[in-house]
Amino acid sequence: MKYVFKDLSDIKRRLNKSNFALLLDFDLTLSPLAKNPTKAILPEDTRILIKKLSKYIHIAVITGRTINDIKKRIKLNNITYVGNHGLEYEVGGVVRSTRLSTGSQKGLKNIKKKFLDIKRKYSGVFVEDKKLTLALHYRLLLPQDKSAFVANIKKIQTEIKNCGLRKILYKKTLEVRPKAKENKGTASLFILKEFNNPKQVIYIGDGKTDEDAFHVLPQDITIRVGKSKHSFAKYYVRNTKEVKKFLVWLLSTLNH
């Protein structure tokens, strides 16, 4: 994994002026860490940057949030949105979502009840119903509740499995999803087709779910926020500030 700022001349050579696409994760990529995920924001200077970039190249934001949620945070029209880690898209103003089986719908309903029970028991825990998926956020859990909470969560994980659903654990969030093939990798490939298969792609993301995208883009410029030995990404930046710095550089190469 190379530090992206040590390879800019090579990246510049590979970018075919306007024939490339930029795919971006939101949380901890564009938006700095917020203790409460409902408070995550897009810094105004990053918004302006993305707006300027979108005049030259195709841009998509691919996130675990719902389409409605991400649109409210980004507030830009001419970019493509992918929500729920690939289960829903908005391309050209039309939203398409994966249809859930009755079994998955029932399972999600059932797990939501359990999540709400946990929420009532512990402060600093909240439940996000994203319709196609569910998330239990516990970044603000009190330290003295941790062991009881973990025991509770373990029990629920078995039930998630029994309901035919899948769990993803990341950054103090337990997410429950249907067993669908869609992920950020399939979403990236779908979006690139919509963009008429650009010659190069830049994908920037920080988390576990972004690895699905890094994995399906082996020939492209994949950048992880945070260095890691266990990543499919080719490059890394250190933090969201450096993502911004990279986008500034990108805009300057397009302007020349």
Task: Give the number of other Cβ atoms within 10 Å of residue 144's Cβ.
Answer: 8
Question: Can you tell me the distance from the alpha carbon of 42 to that of 27, in angstroms, rounded to the nearest whole number?
Answer: 9
Cβ-contact 222, 1 below 8 angstroms: no
Question: Can you tell me the distance from the alpha carbon of 111 to that of 157, in angstroms, rounded to the nearest whole number?
Answer: 10
Chain positions 196 to 255 lying near Mg ion, rule: CB under 5 A, are 206-207
What is the smallest separation between the CB atom of 28 and Mg ion, expressed in angstroms? Answer: 4
Question: Which among 10-18, 27-35, 99-107, 236-244 is the span making contact with Mg ion, rule CB under 5 A?
Answer: 27-35
What is the smallest separation between the CB atom of 117 and Mg ion, expressed in angstroms? Answer: 28
| Per CB under 5 A, 86 contacts Mg ion | no
Nearer to Mg ion, 156 or 213 (CB): 213
Cβ-contact 112, 134 below 8 angstroms: yes
Instruction: Give me the sign of the Cα torsion angle 151, 154, 158, 164.
Output: positive
Residue listed under structure tokens 């399906």: 216
Question: Which among 17-25, 43-51, 68-76, 142-150 is the span making contact with Mg ion, rule CB under 5 A?
Answer: 17-25
Applying CB under 5 A, among 20, 27, 125, 195 the residue interacting with Mg ion is 27
What is the smallest separation between the CB atom of 173 and Mg ion, expressed in angstroms? Answer: 10
Number of residues in contact with Mg ion, rule: CB under 5 A? 5
Question: Can you tell me the distance from the alpha carbon of 52 to that of 69, in angstroms, rounded to the nearest whole number?
Answer: 22
What is the smallest separation between the CB atom of 147 and Mg ion, expressed in angstroms? Answer: 28
**Residue ranges in contact with Mg ion by CB under 5 A:** 25, 27-28, 206-207
